[in-house]
Structures are given as structure tokens and as C-alpha cells.
Amino acid sequence: MPGVFKRRGAISMYKKILVPTDGSEFSVRAFKTAVELAGLFQSEIVLIHVTYTPQALWGNTVPYGYVFSQEDVAKNGQMALDATMAEVSAEGVPTKTVLEIGHPVIKIIDQIKKDGIDLVVIGSHGYGPITGSVLGSVSQRVLQKSPVPVLLVK
């Protein structure tokens, strides 16, 4: 890779790596890959979980009978972040966690811009709220809309 290495050590081609997670096996694989890259490029990792809300899925209407408290939503999101962190040792790699509530693709793209992300490492299939109908759709849309390179991990 041209420009990646100088004579006196590696320069950071990817200073900040964003890893979206939903707590799935695919997200854990993506995080593991990002940790390896971060070690190579001396990068910082931003691990983000975006919690779906009824408004993100169905607009401003809440389906009949569904009640979502902000505390429960935040708790579930933190569990996904913790589950991903627990599976991979990121020792020696600066890692920041971010919990957002809303539409995953929009929040991920916003985070890319907000943190000056250089690379997104994302699992190719996750488990959305409607398993089977949205499998992989977040990674596909992030790939299409991202202003920075995206590495899909299977």
C-alpha cells in the first residue's frame, strides 16, 4: 500500500475506525478485525450501537400495545456494546463506545462525520428487529452512503 509506511515506523492510514455493533456474531468478527487493524495502524476504535426505536422503524407512530422506555432502550443498547467488548480483547487499543437511539444508518453516517472516521468495519449480516427482512440491510446501506471506505466482514 503506497504511503502506508515510512522509514522510521508506521504512519496511521486509518486514525479512527468505526465499528457498528448489534451484539451479533458478525459484529464481534468485525470488531476483532478492527482491533487487528487498529494495532497495525495505531488507530483508535469507535464502537457504536444504534438502538432501534418505534419512531426509527415506523415514523412517528407507535404500534398499538408497544411501550418503550428510554431506560430499557439504553439498557439493551449497552448490553450489545458490552457483549461485543467482552468477546474481543482490545487491550492496548484506544476504544470509545457510543450508544445512539434512532435509525442505524443515519446515526452511523452522522458518527462518521462527527468523529472524523477514516474507515468503517462492519459485519455483513446482523440481526435487526425483524429477522430475515432486514438482515444485512444496515451494512448494505452504510456501504452505499458512507463518505469513507467500508470493510465488510463475514
- Residue range 64-113, pLDDT digits in tens: 555 667 777 788 888 889 888 888 888 889 999 999 988 999 999 999 99
Confidence of residue 57 (pLDDT cuts 50, 70, 90): low
pTM over 0.85, yes/no: no
Tell me: pLDDT of 56 over 90.
no
SS3 132: coil
Instruction: Write the CATH number for 99.
Output: 3.40.50.620
CB 48 within 8 A of CB 98: yes
pLDDT value, residue 106? 95
pLDDT value, residue 59? 54
Domain extent, residue 26, equals: 5-153
CB 107 within 8 A of CB 56: no
Q: Give how many domains the chain has, as a whole number.
A: 1
Tell me: pLDDT of 142 over 50.
yes
Confidence of residue 135 (pLDDT cuts 50, 70, 90): very low
Please measure the distance between the N-terminal and C-terminal CA atoms of the chain and give it in whole angstroms.
23
Span 30-58, average pLDDT: 86
Strands 5-6 and 44-51: unpaired
pLDDT value, residue 111? 98
CB 111 within 8 A of CB 95: no
